[in-house]
Amino acid sequence: MFEVVLNRIKMGSLQEPSALTARLQNTLISYHSLDENEWRVAKKSKDVTVWRKSSEEFHGYLYKAQGMVDDNPNRIVDYIRPGPYRLDWDSLMTAMDIIETLDQGCCVMRYTTAGQLWNIIAPREFVDFSYTTDYQDGLLSCGISVEHEEQHQSYVRGFNHPCGWFCVPTPDSTTTPAQSLLTGYIQTDLRGMIPQSAVDTAMASTLINFYTDLRRALKKA
């Protein structure tokens, strides 16, 4: 569990991000190592499963999503992490700006999301620290929200507790096309007055749609 102080990370404290990246990476690896009995299925499609468990960071849930994606980890993560591709394919994301680029594969980004469930969940804004690093034979792209004073008045500011995506090649990834296992961990505090049932429905559906949008984008490219 992240200490409370790391849930109040300020932009000015990120000039030396090595301590934060180490703790963030270790937190994601601890989620990835949880016993499967600790998870409960939240939603399942033909080729993606979403689980959830109570978060240790806030009053909501930690979600886990997993599915196969046809491509190699480098290319898949290029489409997920902050950069030129994400806004083109992610149907939930409406805008994204990289506020600051730091060392060691780190940056701070501001992004906005569309309203969900007939706008029961209004558009949100997030400011996240993002970090991408090697993991086994693949990659881990992870992040956490940071404090940032500037805020668009037309958006509710949400908060992402430690989250990330593990992408590793399958044992038979020498086949054509290459195939990778993509596993995500998301725990988002949407904030505002939202029924918990609406949050649960939106989070599980959003993660299923994430895989659909990503696969379609990679296939088209």
We find that the CATH architecture of domain 39-220 is 2-Layer Sandwich (3.30)
Q: Which pLDDT does position 2 carry in this prediction? A: 45
Rounded to two decimals, what is the model's pTM? 0.89
The residue-averaged pLDDT of 117-124 equals: 74
Q: How many residues does the chain have?
A: 221
Terminal C-alpha separation, the chain: 38
Q: Which pLDDT does position 194 carry in this prediction? A: 74
pLDDT for 193 beyond 80: no
Query: What does the domain layout of the chain look like in residue ranges?
Result: 39-220
Counting residues of the chain whose pLDDT is more than 90, the rounded percentage is 62
- 201-221 tens-digit pLDDT: 888 999 999 999 999 999 987
Q: How confident is the model at residue 57 (pLDDT cuts 50, 70, 90)?
A: very high
User: Which three-class secondary structure string do you get for the chain?
Assistant: CCCHHHHHCEHHHHCCCHHHHHHHHHHHHHHHCCCHHHCEEEEECCCEEEEEEECCCCCCEEEEEEEEECCCHHHHHHHHCCCCCHHHHCCCEEEEEEEEECCCCEEEEEEEECCECCCCECCEEEEEEEEEEEECCEEEEEEEECECCCCCCCCEECEECCEEEEEEECCCCCCCCCCEEEEEEECEECCCCCCHHHHHHHHHHHHHHHHHHHHHHHHHC
